[in-house]
Structure formats: C-alpha cells, structure tokens
Amino acid sequence: MKTQIQERSIERNKTWKTIFLFLAIVILLTSPFHYAIVNLYPSRIYVGAIMWCPAIAAFITLKIKGRNISSLHWNWGNWKYIRWSYIVPALYGIITYVLIWIFGFGNLANSEAITEWGKELGLFGIGTLNPTSITIIAIMLLATIEVIRASATTLGEEIGWRGFFIYELRKVLSFTGVSIFSGLIWSFWHWPLLVYYSNNVLLEFTTFTIVIVSMSFIMTYYTFKSKSLWPAVIFHAVSNVYIQKIMPPLTIKVEGTEQWLGENGIMFAIVTCIFGIYFWKKGLKEQL
C-alpha cells in the first residue's frame, strides 16, 4: 500500500506536470503574436490576441486533463473585493504621479496639454468647455467606460493566470510562493514586448518585474479571499487605465527624468512594491 507521503508526492508531481503543460501551451499560443508585434506591426489586434492566450491555454489544459471549465471560479464573489480591486490600483496610480509631481520628475499638465487631451477624446470645441471641465469629463469616461472596455482583454489574461494558474500553484506552494512564482512567470511572459518598446532595456526589465511581482501579491490576495477571478479582472483593467491612460496625460515630462515615469518607471516600481509588501504581510497574517 502507498503511504500518505507517497500519495502526496504523486499528487504534487501531477500538479507540476499540469502547471508546465499550461505554460508550454501559453508559450506556443503566444509566440506567433509576439513575433507579429515585434516584427510586423504593434496592432491592438495582436495585443488583444496575446491577452487571450492564457485563457485559451487554460481551457486546453483543462480539456486534456478531463476537467470542467466551470472549475475556474466564475462566481462574482463578494462586492467588497470588487470595490477594493478598483480602489487599490487607482490609488497606487494616483500616488505614483503625485510623488512624481512633488519631486519634480514631471509637472502637472497645463491648460494646453489638457486641451490636446480633450482633442484626442473629441471633447474640445463642445460648447464652452474649459480645460477643467475637459479634465473631469475625460477622467470620468476613462475611469468607467474605458475600464469596462479594458476588462474585455484583461479577462483573457485573468482566466488563465488567476482563474487557473495560481490555483494549481496553491496545491504545491505557499501564498508567498504562489505570488512570487506566478508574478515572475507573468513578468517573463511580457518580456518580448519590453524588448520592442523599451528605451533602457535593463532598467525597464528590472522595474517592470518588480511591478508585476508586487501586483501578483495583491491580485493573489484578492483572488483567494474572494474565491473569484473577477476582482483580478477589474484590478488589472483599472491598473492599466490609470497608469497608461489617465495619469500620463495629466503630466508634462521633464527632460532627463523619463526613467521615473510610466508603468515601467522607477516611481511606479517603488509604490507598487510598498503595496505588494503590505498585501504579502496581510496574506500571511490571514493564513491564505
């Protein structure tokens, strides 16, 4: 007869095989679109396709393993976790840029910059809208409609990474291990795109990895607490919108401080790291 230790060892081996099968499928599905973005054209179609590769990989893995897609924690969960999954990334995005303004790495946008932003959104020239009105309307639209739109693509990532991947990792790793391992894999998965977009590859690889691992701690916490993939979907979408769409247009760059700005900037890495440490300790305290 097999001992309990032997049975646990067999189950762990099966789990690791499932994990690496999933990752192999993710790489296989993603590689053509990475190539297309880097060597053809960085189309939103290719980016959207990449973001849905983890979901498709999860579906294929489940099919191979004879498991149901319904096991991916589709339930909405407690609204409390949905709310906090909006508030936290919005908060760290705002804090990042307030610190950038305070320390002079960038300046709060002037009326001309706001007007240009309004033109991009088709708001300039509507009645007697002034820069303040344009700013308020733009932020409201981006913080609501754009978050909903962004959720359509982040859903693809989160079905795979948080709906499937971290629950497999949870069978063999602690909360800390799950957060670090999944964060590193999630970061490495983005690296081919960084090569294309980065101006300072070494610095941006470092800051981006810190950001992603830090976010992984927060998203793993809310996923396990809610037993739902939806907080991660909202969190990811809000983070993208605030750090890519809302805060940068409100900031005028200062020459020589570009490395502090944006989602690959030093300041964002510092702020998200602090948030990540807080949720790491919170997760340990609550024995997730």
Residue ranges per domain, the chain? Answer: 72-286
- Whole-angstrom distance, CA of residue 26 vs CA of residue 2: 34
Confidence (pTM): 0.91
pLDDT at 124: 60
**Amino acid 126: pLDDT:** 55
Strand 106-108, strand 251-253: pairing: antiparallel
DSSP class of residue 244 equals I
Q: Facing residues of 251 across strands?
A: 108
Tally the residues of the chain: 288
| pLDDT tens-place string over residues 164-190 | 999 999 999 999 999 999 999 999 998
285 dihedral zone (left: phi>0; alpha: psi -120 to 50; beta): alpha
Residue 238 confidence (pLDDT): 97
pLDDT of 35: 82
Residue 227 is predicted with a pLDDT of 94
Q: Which of the residues in the chain have pLDDT under 50?
A: none
Q: Which amino acid is at 124?
A: F
Cα–Cα distance, 206 to 83 (Å, whole number): 30
